[in-house]
Amino acid sequence: MKSLGWLVLGLSLNATAGEVVNYQADGMDLEGYYAAAQGTPKGSVLLIHDWDGLTGYEQKRVDMLSSMGYNTFAVDLYGKGNRPVETSAKKAEVGKLYKDREKMRGLILAGLNRARAMGVEDVVVAGYCFGGAATLELARSGKGDGVKGYATFHGGLKTPANQSYPENTAPIFVSHGGADKGIPMTDVADLSVQLEQANVPYLIEVYSGAPHAFTVFDSNRYREAADKQSWATFSEFLEANL
C-alpha cells in the first residue's frame, strides 16, 4: 500500500472524510470509497485507481477533493478485497482488463451509476497510472454521458488500433513526467495529434525530470514540484469544467 506523506488543507494522515461503499457489477462484489463535498458542492469527480487497486492513496485523494468542495467517488475495478501487492499480481490484474476492454468500460460505468445513485451528477473522471489509461478508455467509448472532462496523471496514453476519440468528447487534461521511461514522449505527441484531428479540447503538461508515478507520496519516484503543479492545474480544470 502506498504511504501518504502530504498534509493538505489540515487533513491528518489517518483522517478520512468519506465512507466505504459496497456495490455490485458484472457479477462482482465491489468496494468503492465516497466523500461528500465539504461546504457548498462545486461538482463531482469520479476517481479511478492505479494498478494496485483502490488503496489509501486513492482515499486520500478523494478526501482532498472533498475538502475542495467536490463530491468524489473512487471506483473499484478489481473486486472487493482484491488489492494485489506483488508486481506480478498487479500486472495480471491490469492484463485482464486490457484484454477485455468492454468489461473495463462496463465496470467504470457501473461505478459512475453508483455515484449517481448517491447524488453525483455532472462529473469529471480522473485516474492515476492504470486509472489514467482507463479514464481515456471511457473517453474513447463515447458512453460518458454527463461527463464534463477527463484527467489522467502519468497514465497510459496509447490508443488501441480499433478505437478513436469522438468529436463530442469532453475536454481532456494530461499530466506527464518528462522522465517517464514507461510512457515515452512519442505517446504524448501521438495523443495530441489524435485529439487535434478529432477536435477534442485538451491540455497537456509535461514536468521536467518527473518519472512515472511522480504523484505517489513518499515513494522514491515522488516529485513534489510536479505533483503540486499537476494538482493545481487539475483544480483549475475542475473549476473550468464543472
Determine, yes or no, domain membership for 3.
Answer: no
Of 93, 97, 106, residue with least CA distance to 25: 106
Determine, yes or no, domain membership for 11.
Answer: no
Q: What is the 3-state secondary structure (H, E, C) of 203-242?
A: EEEEECCCCCCCCCCCCCCCCHHHHHHHHHHHHHHHHHHC
Give the residue with greater pLDDT, 229 vs 16.
229
Q: What is the pLDDT of residue 120?
A: 84
Q: Tell me: the pLDDT tens digits for 144-153? A: 888 999 999 9
Q: Tell me: the pLDDT tens digits for 29-78? A: 999 999 999 999 999 999 999 999 999 999 999 999 999 999 999 999 99
* Cell numbers linked to 31: 468496494
Determine, yes or no, domain membership for 168.
Answer: yes
Cell 454521458, residue?
145
In the chain, what percentage of residues exceed pLDDT 90?
88
pLDDT over 80 at 12, yes or no: no
CATH of the domain at 65: 3.40.50.1820
Q: What is the pLDDT of residue 144?
A: 87
Residue 210 near residue 178 (C-beta atoms within 8 A)? yes
Indicate the pLDDT class of residue 16, thresholds 50, 70 and 90.
Answer: low
Q: What is the pLDDT of residue 71?
A: 95
In the chain, what percentage of residues exceed pLDDT 70?
93
Determine, yes or no, domain membership for 12.
Answer: no
Q: Tell me: the pLDDT tens digits for 187-211? A: 999 999 999 999 999 999 999 999 9
- Rounded CA separation 210/176 (Å): 8
Residue 187 near residue 212 (C-beta atoms within 8 A)? no
Determine, yes or no, domain membership for 7.
Answer: no
Instruction: Domain of residue 222: give its range.
Output: 19-241
Q: Tell me: the pLDDT tens digits for 80-90? A: 999 999 999 99
Number of domains forming the structure of the chain: 1
pTM of the model: 0.92
Determine, yes or no, domain membership for 29.
Answer: yes
- Rounded CA separation 30/228 (Å): 31
pLDDT over 60 at 8, yes or no: no
Determine, yes or no, domain membership for 10.
Answer: no
The mean predicted confidence, pLDDT, of the chain is 92
Determine, yes or no, domain membership for 44.
Answer: yes
Indicate the pLDDT class of residue 5, thresholds 50, 70 and 90.
Answer: very low
Dihedral class, residue 79 (left if φ above 0, else alpha if ψ from -120 to 50, else beta): left
Q: Looking at residues 109-123, what average pLDDT do you find? A: 91
